[in-house]
Structure 1
Amino acid sequence: MSITNLESVTPVDMNTFRNVVGHFASGVTVITTAVDGQLYGTTASAVSSLSMEPPMMLACLNRSSSTHDRVVEAGVFGINILAEDQGALAFHFGRKGEDKFATVPHTLSAEGIPLIDGALATIVCHVAETPTGGTHTVFLGLVSHAEAHDREPLAYYRGTMGRLEPTKELGAYQATRTWVLLRTSPLGEDLDVDAIAAASRADADHVANALVKLESEHLVFRTETGKYQPKPITAELTDSAYDSRATIES
């Protein structure tokens, strides 16, 4: 694999970079750890799953953060994925100084790592590797504990935090998929884009795009006239659908 000579590369303007990267929607987390009974935490959005075998997570922390140094010292850290009503906690843990856990309900893991009560999900990681990049350290952690709850996520997009709302396109897809699965249009009959759009209060273009996606999922097929019709649901089709879903979730 070739490696670019970075000295010959002119970096993009910082403000441009910040604006463009802000278009990547992500969840919001609080990275926590503990050293000698003292609890530490900081807000972070650069967090991702890394591996299934073994189960590993990735978290990036600025080296100027006090939590960064404590994670290095402890060798263990928690990832608290915040729920939609915990936006205030993201700002709370984004500040420097003070005892951040004094007013935040939490539970200690078996390793003594503080896990925030009411979080969408909590994960405990043991540091395996610590590569660096720019101003940050990338903590690769082996997961020893993971727990999720039936709540909605806190989303971060272009500098704003809030609830992750389904888009119109997603709503049209879900409505079209339900129309097909419930056989609102019988087998052998063309699917009427305008009728589906009117019934679901969706844009006809979004319904047309949904049908293209449903064709890739083998739930509909295109006829010689360019129209779409529902596809018979067989055992083979059902198995294929479940296999696809399992792959996505994995």
Structure 2
Amino acid sequence: MIPAQQSTHEIHPIDGGALRHVCAHFATGVTVITTGLPGDSSGTTVNSFTSVSLEPPLVLFCLHQHSRLLPLLKESGGFVVNFLTRQQQSLAYAFAGRESADLTGVPHHRTQEGLPVLSEALAHLTCRLVEEYDGGDHTILLGRVVGLGAEEKPIDDPLIFYRGAMRELGGPVTVPPRS
């Protein structure tokens, strides 16, 4: 067990490993953020996604400042949040590497804005980038939702991330494949 800080009046440095360990106790959904225009599209796995506001419709997620996706996203001016199903674990791992993955060979289609949507995702949100904020070693990206889609009857359960691993709802831990 990690000890709690003794005083709320004193600020002590927080160890990054300890912060990661504690935050791993919060379950999140698994998304792949896709962006780019035809001929140059990529994606990256993200679990730092959240809905911000319904009026106006805003969402945010965070990318490492050295993410290969960041310049492509800024250039395209938009992104798609793809919510993954439990059957898409291998896809989530493929997009989870230090560098974002290319969409070649991954079933996808384009929005009216030309942004890539993963065709087999549980649901998706198409967003226009409206603001960026400094988030330490990450950039916080705020997007306005301009389009969306979901299956009327979900075809599968969502993929979740909990305690450092991808899991199914109520299912066992899935250990990432070793490269």
Question: Do the two structures share a fold, i.e. TM-score over 0.5?
Answer: yes
Q: Do structure 1's residue 23 and structure 2's residue 25 form an aligned pair?
A: yes
Q: Which position in structure 1 is the counterpart of 2:160?
A: 155
Q: Which position in structure 1 is the counterpart of 2:79?
A: 77
Give the superposition deviation at 1:9. Answer: 3.3
Task: Report the AA paired with residue 33 of structure 1.
Answer: T
Equivalent residues in 2 for 1:96-111, closer than 5 Å: 96=98, 100-111=102-113
Give the superposition deviation at 1:11. Answer: 2.4
Q: State how far apart, in whole Å, the 1-side matches of 2:101 and 2:162 are.
A: 28
How far does the alpha carbon of each residue in 1:154-173 deviate from its partner, in whole angstroms, 9 at most, with x for none?
0100111121129xxxxxxx
Q: State how far apart, in whole Å, the 2-side matches of 1:97 and 1:22 are.
A: 22
Q: Is the 8 A contact 2:32 2:43 kept in 1?
A: yes
Give the superposition deviation at 1:141. Answer: 0.5
Q: Which position in structure 1 is the counterpart of 2:175?
A: none
Q: Is the 8 A contact 2:82 2:125 kept in 1?
A: yes
Q: Which has the higher strand share?
A: 2
Equivalent residues in 2 for 1:64-213, closer than 5 Å: 64-96=66-98, 100-149=102-151, 150=154, 151-165=156-170
Q: Which position in structure 1 is the counterpart of 2:174?
A: none
TM-score by length of 1: 0.60
Q: Is the 8 A contact 2:44 2:101 kept in 1?
A: no
Task: Report the AA paired with residue 90 of structure 2.
Answer: A
Task: Report the AA paired with residue 157 of structure 1.
Answer: Y
Task: Report the AA paired with residue 108 of structure 2.
Answer: H
Q: State how far apart, in whole Å, the 2-side matches of 1:89 and 1:119 are.
A: 10
TM-score by length of 2: 0.83
Q: Is the 8 A contact 1:56 1:142 kept in 2?
A: yes
Give the superposition deviation at 1:36. Answer: 6.1
Q: Which position in structure 2 is the counterpart of 1:63?
A: 65
SS at match of 1:30: strand
Give the superposition deviation at 1:97. Answer: 5.2
Higher RCO, 1 or 2 (CA under 8 Å, sep at least 6)?
2
Structure 1 ranges of 4+ moved more than 2 A: 8-11, 95-100
Q: Which runs of 5+ in 1 are unaligned?
A: 1-7, 167-250
Q: Which position in structure 1 is the counterpart of 2:52?
A: 50
Q: Which has the higher helix share?
A: 1
Give the superposition deviation at 1:37. Answer: 3.1
Q: Which position in structure 1 is the counterpart of 2:5?
A: none
Note the aligned Cα RMSD (angstroms).
1.8
Q: Is the 8 A contact 1:35 1:73 kept in 2?
A: no
Q: Is the 8 A contact 1:123 1:145 kept in 2?
A: yes
Q: Which position in structure 2 is the counterpart of 1:201?
A: none
